[in-house]
Each structure stands twice: as C-alpha cells, then as structure tokens.
C-alpha cells in the first residue's frame, strides 16, 4: 500500500446472524470485480495491476477475489472475529468463508447441551470445528500460530481478558493480533494459536466456557535438564490467561480498528473503513433477554425456583448483557 491509504474491514458480533455480514461482503466484492473489469475495458488492458495488496496479480476474471488482497486490516469481535480470522489470517474467499460459517452453525448451535450445565453449547465441539477451519485453509496445520508477519493482511480479534488488565490502549478490551506491535505494546503480544484466538473472541457468556491460554504459547516449551525446574516455575509464576467473548466489551470493533490503524500507519493514512453489522438490533424486554440467554425451559424453571426479587435480578443481569453488546452507537 505504498501509493495509497489503508483500507479497513470491521465485522461486528451477532451470533448466527454473522452470515449477514458475509452476504453483504460478497456483494461488495462483486462490485469490486465489476469496477475492475470496467477499468480494464477503459484502459484496454485485461490485467489491472496494483488494485489489490499483491500487486501484479493475474487476471481476476475467473479467480475468486479474496478480501485479504484488498483490505490492509481485517478485524472482528465474537462471530465477527471468527469471520475476520477466516478472511484475514486464513485468506479464505467470501464463498469459502460462507461455507465454513454454515458448517460451524450446524455443528455448534445445532447441538445444545442438557439442562443444568454452565454453558448452553459444548466448547469441545467449537474447538474441534475451529481446528478444522484452520486445517482446511492454505496453512494446512490446525495448530498454526496467530502471529505471522508474512501475512499480506493484518488481522486482529477482540476478546475480554478475565484475569489480567486489558490492552493499555483499549480500556476493557484485549486485542489478539496476527502482527507485531512489540515496539509499542511489548507486554501485550499474543503467542497463541489461530483456533485459540477464535475461541477467545467467541466464548460468549452462558453459551461457551472461557478459554485458558498459556501466555508464552509455543515459546514456553523447554527441554533438557531444566525441563523439570521449568515446569515447577511455570506452575508458580506463569498462570494461564483466561479469555471470554469480546462482545461484552466491544461488539463493534470499529473504534478500536481506527486507533489500531492510527498506531500502525498514522491517522492521516486511513483511506476507508467498511464496517459490517448483522442486521437491525432487536428491542429486548426483560423476558425476551432472559429467554435468549437461558432458553425457554431453564427460564421456566428459574421462575419457579427463585423468589421474585432474585428472578428480577437475574433478568436485569441478562438485559444488561444484551445492552452491552449493542453495536450501532459506535458510529454515532
């Protein structure tokens, strides 16, 4: 992007409605192709170079366009974070991401756990599916690390850190990056795997358990005579970091993306921001918010077992959680 300003793609959280963001992005990529073909016709040239990030690419008349070739920074929160990982770090096309996202929805949200569990859906199933998404990408390795400076497009997802202060520059949010900002944020580097970043951004309260990740990642491995001592030291001083859904702190990552891009390229070098939501935000009542979080059966049982006072407190807690994940106010 030597001769142009940065392009940013932001993807909101929104549960299974995240497919809406992908459908809108597909239309955007179709318009980009149409415009490139017009430009090629005007220039009398079948190959338009320099439009994407990989300058000198071959003719795109038949090759599916990849968002990572047109955006310099792709970010997301919760299910938007999963999509950001697919499009940015894993370099999927939009159609490929839609297919993977549909498979995720069937495997994860189609299988509820039984009553009296701390979360609605099994986190093991989610982890298995995320590893499959990574494995089926061009990387081919389900344990590929999130950080890779060779990526043509920078990617980050937003999470909530449960046992450590948040990113110095982002209030309550924690940013899990595919790129290095060591010069600015030496103690906030993420050394985890791609699937772990996906779990961290999408571990919605009451839906999935939080995930614990070794803060030193792969770099913590040791060998030789110091291995035993290292394990003991690690148990005492290197507790795992716990992450939960980023939607509770920044369900719309747009403002975070602006600040992040400003630190990378300078605020004057931001060219455009495409912020995709998941549709109109529904207006919740106390009962609707409680039903959304608990499901009708557990909601009915809670109403029978709890006093009016404690049931109201439960409803208020779930209603507040729904309010926290609103996204439209970020653009106002």
Catalytic residue chosen out of the listed positions 12, 72, 78, 242: 78
Interacting residues of 195 by C-beta distance below 8 A, sequence separation 6+: 127, 130, 131, 133, 134, 142, 143
CA–CA separation, 230 and 219 (whole Å): 13
Hey, is 301 helix, strand or coil? helix
Catalytic residue flag (residue 172): no
In the set 12, 72, 167, 245, the catalytic residue is 245
**Helix, strand, coil tally for the chain in percent (to 5):** 50, 15, 40
Question: For this structure, is 245 an active site residue?
Answer: yes
Q: Catalytic residue numbers?
A: 78, 245
């Amino acid at each position: 992007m030597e001769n142009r300003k940065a392009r940013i793609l932001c993807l909101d959280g929104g549960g299974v409605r995240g497919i809406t963001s992908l459908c809108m992005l597909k239309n955007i990529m179709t318009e980009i192709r149409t415009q490139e073909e017009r430009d090629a016709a005007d220039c009398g040239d079948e190959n338009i170079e320099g439009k994407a990030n990989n300058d000198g690419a071959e003719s795109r008349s038949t090759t599916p366009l990849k968002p990572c070739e047109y955006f310099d920074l792709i970010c997301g929160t919760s299910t938007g974070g999963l999509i950001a990982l697919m499009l940015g770090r894993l370099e999927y096309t939009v159609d490929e991401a839609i297919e993977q996202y549909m498979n995720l929805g069937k495997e994860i949200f189609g299988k509820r756990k039984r009553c009296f569990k701390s979360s609605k859906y099994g986190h093991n199933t989610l982890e298995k599916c995320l590893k499959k998404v990574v494995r089926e990408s061009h990387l081919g390795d389900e344990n590929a690390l999130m950080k890779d400076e060779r990526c043509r497009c920078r990617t980050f997802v937003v999470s909530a850190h449960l046992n450590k202060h948040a990113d110095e520059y982002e209030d309550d949010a924690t940013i899990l990056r595919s790129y290095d900002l060591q010069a600015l944020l030496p103690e906030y580097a993420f050394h985890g795997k791609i699937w772990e970043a996906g779990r961290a951004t999408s571990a919605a309260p009451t839906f999935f358990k939080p995930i614990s990740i070794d803060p030193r990642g792969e770099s913590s491995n040791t060998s030789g005579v110091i291995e035993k001592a290292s394990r003991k030291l690690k148990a005492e001083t290197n507790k795992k970091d716990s992450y939960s859904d980023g939607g509770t702190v920044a369900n719309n990552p747009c403002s975070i993306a602006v600040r992040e891009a400003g630190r990378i390229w300078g605020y004057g070098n931001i060219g455009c921001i495409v912020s995709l939501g998941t549709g109109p935000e529904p207006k919740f009542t106390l009962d609707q918010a409680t039903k959304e979080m608990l499901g009708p059966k557990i909601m009915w049982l809670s109403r029978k077992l709890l006093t009016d006072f404690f049931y109201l407190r439960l409803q208020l807690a779930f209603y507040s959680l729904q309010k926290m994940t609103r996204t439209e106010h970020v653009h106002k």
